[in-house]
Structures are given as structure tokens and as C-alpha cells.
Structure 1
Amino acid sequence: MLEFNIAEHMAYEYGKRGARLALVARRENRLNEVASKAKFFGSPDVITIPADVSCVQDCKRFVDLTVNHFGQLDHLVNNAGIVPLCLFEDTTDITNFVPAMDINFWGSAYGTYFSIPHLKKFKGKIVAIASSAGWLPAPRMMFYNASKAAMITLYESLRTELGRDIGITIVTPGLIESEMTQGKFLSKEGRMVLDQEMRDVQISMVPIRSVTEAAKAIVNSACRGDLYLTEPAWIRTTFYWKMFCPEVLEILNRWLLLSGSSERETISKKLINLSGLKKYLYPESIRNPKLKPN
């Protein structure tokens, strides 16, 4: 299940290993582009399945089509996601953010449910792309954070139930080149928007990891059978801050992300603008002014 760009580059990494691929996403034109590149990188067989993972019937369909085509299912990668961005009290209609759970959590759970019988047959693996946001208290991102926290707990519990029948690698990335770090968010009105100003507010001076390197690390981790992977590794330190100094983490985030003359003039945004470090911390791919919301 693709969220461009992370799963896209994972498809290329799997292709380099000679894996046969079933690519699932809503945007058929992008699926076809990724399929062509995956074949170029070495995948002998790639099928594309346009689907909406928030729809349980679509999830059953893509699993059935995959197994019918290849005869088996070895790895399931759950990565579809959207990022609502809005202060809780500024929400105009709280139901606008229902898609965060429908896609980020249920979209992952549905596909997993239908895949388990097939994965068990060949001691397969599940790669759950959650997020370090699952433990970080970031303002404006509470619905995304909650969906990723739920995802982490789902797969930890599922791993306990399944034992060694299926390997589960839970990935908690930090900031990676992706549609979110490009500035694509679900607005308080429930529309997908491209807002690089608010992206700068939320990310500030945190370095953004190359998607190519992140994808390589994730595929290697899954193939090794790791239980967890945090990428880049230094992000794991925030988990210990959360465990041992939660008040400090909350105060720091409130000061950086909420202090300022307006929502778009926070301390976090002033730091990245005044420092001149954006061109070093943000890859060119996410600074491109020609980016579009969809």
C-alpha cells in the first residue's frame, strides 16, 4: 500500500532483490510509473491494483488479486497515510479528520486481516510503517499521532498473538522525504492542501532523511526479521525523553510550535528562516515550488 515516496522507494529496493510486486494505491497513473521503475530495478513481475485502503472490500480485493496472480504472499507492507494538520480547538468539523483513522489505522488493519492466512503458509512478514509521531506530543498533529500510536499497539499485540508464525517489523520513522515533508496536509476543512509555510512551522530545524536511504534501511530490517526499526536511529532518543522527561518535551514543543505573533510566525519557523539552514536540512525534492497537493 503506497504512500509516495517511502513505499515507492521500498518497491525499488524490493525490485533490486528480485521480488515480484503487487503495488496498491488510489492513483493509478503513479502506480504505473512506479511499476515501470521497479521493473527497471530488477523486479521480474509487477502488478498494479488501484484501491482505497480505507474500504474493507478494496483491501480484500487487492489481497485476493495478489494471491491469485502470484500464488502466494510473502511480505505485506502497510504504509498508506494522510496527515491532518490543525489545532484541536480550531477544527471546524471534527469528522473532517475521520480519514486519518480510516486510512492510517483501519487501512492497515484491513489489509493485514485478509493477508494473515496467506502469510502464515510461508512464514511471511508484515512491515508496519508507523511513525515516531506515535510517541511524540506535537501540536496540530494529534489525529495523525493517535492513528500511528494505535498502529504501533495493534502490531505489538498482533505479534504477541501470532508468535513466530509471521514476522512483524514495526517501523517508526522520523522525518523522511515524503508527501508530508513536502507540505501536503489535510486541512481543517477536510481538503488536501500544499502548505510549505506550515510545513516549516512543524519541522523547523529537524534534518530530513533521504527517502532512498530510509527505504533501503527498512527493507534490510524487514528481511533480517527485526522487531523494530527507528529511522534515522537518532530519533529514538525522543522516546527516552518522552519516558523520563515528558514535561520537558511538552514544554519545548509548546514553546517552539505555538509561541509567536501568529500561527505562521512561530519560533520554530523563525529559527529555520533566520538560520539559513533550510537548503542543508531539507532535500531539494521537498523545496520544489512546483509541487502540487495531489
Structure 2
Amino acid sequence: MDTTAEAKVVLITGSSSGIGAETARLFAKRQFKVAITGSNRERVEQVANECTQLSPSKFQALAIVADLSDLDNAERLVKQTVDHFGRLDVLVNNVGVHHKTNAADKSSFRLYQNTFAINVDSVIKTTMEAVPHLEKSGGNIVFVSSTASVKPAANAYAYRMSKAALSSYAKCLAIDIAPKVRVNIVSPGPVATPLFDKAGISRESLQAKARATNLLGRPGEVEEIASAIYYLASDEASYFCGAELFVDGGSLCKPIQ
């Protein structure tokens, strides 16, 4: 077990790329001990090494390779984090997948099941495993949802349903475990990450969509989302609980043209 004294510990799911990786780097810079998780060993170890180098105290980041479509791994990654660092102060539920799914196409049902297995089931399981440790430390949880949770769209029913379920679960959880543990949500608008690449959404398409649909006329950057996540997890946000912070460039309030 790492016995370096009393730095806080953060576990970030889905932290081998995109928003999760940038969030891990930011926590490392702010003197947290960081647990990195993902299913790709090379990327997990790369981000863990980056976090170790970015840590002012050179805290060694923990690399955990875990495919969260297998729910047994949710229990394992929490246990491994606590066994290694001796505590858990912050859980960032960032893991997620995005498949193109047509709501009338029965062939999409398996993709729907996979989406919910990772975006919802694994998150709930990880959270339930983490809560006793967070109650002990007086910690908090940040869920990474999406503006997709409140905006329907074509060929995206599985992802959007999963994010609506995630946000609803997070708010119910806040009621059930406050004041021992704070629970909040960051819901980004479109951000240029590998998640969109895997869903077949090009960077050019993302840029065009942002210009048309939000007030700032551009997609978000991973650094902007990571900053919001860190803020909600920090003591500066100590009166935030059950809140959903939309970091979307103004897309939800842009008037219909």
C-alpha cells in the first residue's frame, strides 16, 4: 500500500483517453493520487505515467486495466484502488460508449444492451462499491453525463437514453447519501474526443454542428470539461450537491432559428 501521507485519492473511470485522461492529468497536477482505468493497457499505462510526471510530489499513479462491460471489474477496480492507496476521496464516473443506433431498427438492440451495460450498469456497480469508502473519507462523486440526456436526436437513442438514466440515478443517489457524500453531474455538449470518432462522427461534422447549435459556435475542449469536473470535486464547490452543470457552449439556451 502507498503510505505517502494524506494526499487525497481520486478514481476516474474511462480515463485512458479524452475527457477522462485530461481530468486525470488535472487531478495529478493538483496533488491528488490518481487511479487510471480503461480497457486498453497501453493507453492506461501511458496516462498513468503522464500523471506521475505531472504530480508535483511525483505520486505514482495507479494503472488498472478493466473492461467494465464485465461488472466484476467494477468491484475489482474500487478494491484495487483502496488496497493500493488506503483510501478513496473522489470517484469520477466518466466511462462511456457511443454507438450509432436507430430507434426502429431491431438489429441495434445488442448495441443498446452494450451501451447500457457500460454507461449505466457498470457506473451504478462502481458507485455502490465506492460509497462506503467515500462515506468514510467524507468524499464526493462526479458523474459525467451529457446534454444528450435532455435532447433527443436521430440514430442515437441508446446513448441518449443511457445518459438520461445516468443523470437520474445520480440525483437519486444524492438524496440517498447526502450529507455524508456530495454527488454532482457535469454534462458536456459536443467535445472533440475519441468517443465521437468511434461513433463515426467526424471532427468536421462536430465543428459544423457546434457552429449551428451553440452560442459559442465551436465544440468544447477536453480541458474545459476537466476543469468543471475538478471544480465540483474540490472544496470550492462544497455547497454543490445534486447539481447538474451543463458545460455546453450555450447549446441548451440557443434559440431555434
Asked whether the two chains share a fold, i.e. TM above 0.5, the reply is: yes
Aligned to 2:102: 87
Structure 1 pair 105–97 and aligned structure 2 pair: CA distance change class (3 A): same
Does structure 1 residue 144 correspond to structure 2 residue 159?
A: yes
Q: Structure 1: how far apart are the matches of 2:23 and 2:139?
A: 17
Larger Rg: 1
Aligned to 1:280: none
After TM superposition, the structure 1 = structure 2 runs for residues 45-124 of structure 1, keeping only pairs within 5 Å, are 45-124=60-139
Aligned to 1:203: 209
Alpha-carbon shift at residue 132 of structure 1 (Å): 0.7
Structure 1 pair 95–46 and aligned structure 2 pair: CA distance change class (3 A): same
Query: Residue 96 of structure 2 aligns to a residue in which SS?
Result: coil
Alpha-carbon shift at residue 149 of structure 1 (Å): 0.2
Query: Does the 8 Å contact 1:9/1:215 carry over to 2?
Result: yes
Any gaps of 5 or more consecutive residues in structure 2?
1-12
Does structure 1 residue 2 correspond to structure 2 residue 17?
A: no
Does structure 1 residue 222 correspond to structure 2 residue 222?
A: no
What code does the residue aligned with 2:220 have? Answer: R
2:223 to 212, 227, 232: 212
Bigger proportion of residues as helix = 1
Q: Given the two structures, how large is their TM-score scaled by the length of structure 2?
A: 0.83
Aligned to 1:234: 250
Structure 1 pair 72–136 and aligned structure 2 pair: CA distance change class (3 A): same
Instruction: Report how many residues are paired.
Output: 232
Query: Does the 8 Å contact 1:214/1:231 carry over to 2?
Result: yes
Aligned to 2:143: 128
Structure 1 pair 82–76 and aligned structure 2 pair: CA distance change class (3 A): same
What code does the residue aligned with 1:156 have? Answer: K
Query: Does the 8 Å contact 1:132/1:172 carry over to 2?
Result: yes
Any gaps of 5 or more consecutive residues in structure 1?
186-193, 242-247, 253-294
Structure 1 pair 108–121 and aligned structure 2 pair: CA distance change class (3 A): same
Structure 1 pair 235–204 and aligned structure 2 pair: CA distance change class (3 A): closer
* % identity of equivalent residues: 25
Alpha-carbon shift at residue 202 of structure 1 (Å): 8.8
Q: Structure 1: how far apart are the matches of 2:252 and 2:232?
A: 16
Does structure 1 residue 165 correspond to structure 2 residue 180?
A: yes
What code does the residue aligned with 2:47 have? Answer: V
Aligned to 1:25: 38
Q: Structure 2: how far apart are the matches of 1:61 and 1:87?
A: 34
1:184 to 198, 204, 226: 198
Query: Residue 53 of structure 1 aligns to a residue in which SS?
Result: coil
Query: Residue 188 of structure 2 aligns to a residue in which SS?
Result: coil
Query: Residue 100 of structure 2 aligns to a residue in which SS?
Result: coil
**Cα-Cα RMSD:** 2.2
